Amino acid sequence: MLELARIQSNIPASAACAGPETGGLAMGLARSNEELEAIQRLRYRVFTEEMNAVFPDATDGLDADRFDPWCEHFMVSEIGTGKVVGTYRLLDPDNARKAGGYYSESEFDLSGLGAIRRNLVEVGRSCIHPDYRNGAVIMLLWSGIANMVKRAGFRHVLGCASVSLRDDGVTAREVWRRAQADMANQPQMPRVMPLHRYPVDDSGQRLPARIPPLIKGYLKLGAAICGEPAWDPDFNTADFPVLLDVQHMDTRYRRHFGL
């Protein structure tokens, strides 16, 4: 792994903010087939075993697809054991052309992005080991992405934020209500269209629902939902398109990530 950052920890495991291991965490870029395989095994554990996602290409406990060879893979691992506990992948414009497009184009018509596609990277396939979902790993991963975006001079970051449909779409409709209000205040924002729209029309019923933590995190960064959700049958989720203009990122996060 090409290490980019780390969190050291000498705190007893029961109190450590970085996770159950006392050695801390390291974040960097995968640089070997073995590291990529460890990432794909973590993705399989989270997506297939935990979330019951069904991937046609998943074999031997690995979640792998045709985009993996063209992506940079960020990974967070335990210092000492090397166990991979978090990951994101990033696809830049040049490699997206080589891959035949962005992964998002399997769910959305991106023509509404217009000229910003020349300066846009896609992030996705993010997952974190259940023992480490306390904020430290996601911040390390976001710092790595921010570092690469800054060095390469990209301005826009696109991704899909998934909302489980196990509650019959209650949470998805709540996310869409919030998104509509935000979009009304940002009429200049580019819009994308789902290829297979998940219906989030307001039924008039306001059942209790909360915005999922990851989407809340994106919105705090300064990102915005830029269209209606697509239905992802593999995950049984409503996938919302999320777009971040780095120049409009929340000031606190710009300072934190050195942008």
pLDDT at position 17 over 70 = no
Q: Report d(CA 184, CA 175) in Å as an integer.
A: 14
Domain that holds residue 123: 2-257
Radius of gyration of the chain (CA): 18
42: domain CATH number?
3.40.630.30
Burial of 192 (0-12, 13-18, 19+ CB in 10 A): buried
Residue with the larger pLDDT of the pair 247 and 122: 122
In whole numbers, what is the pLDDT of the chain averaged over residues?
A: 89
pTM across the whole model? 0.88
Count of domains in the chain?
1
For the stretch 142-157, pLDDT in tens is: 999 999 999 999 999 9
Q: What does the pLDDT average to over 58-67? A: 87
* C-alpha distances out from residue 239 to 22, 77, 121, 259, Å: 36, 27, 18, 28
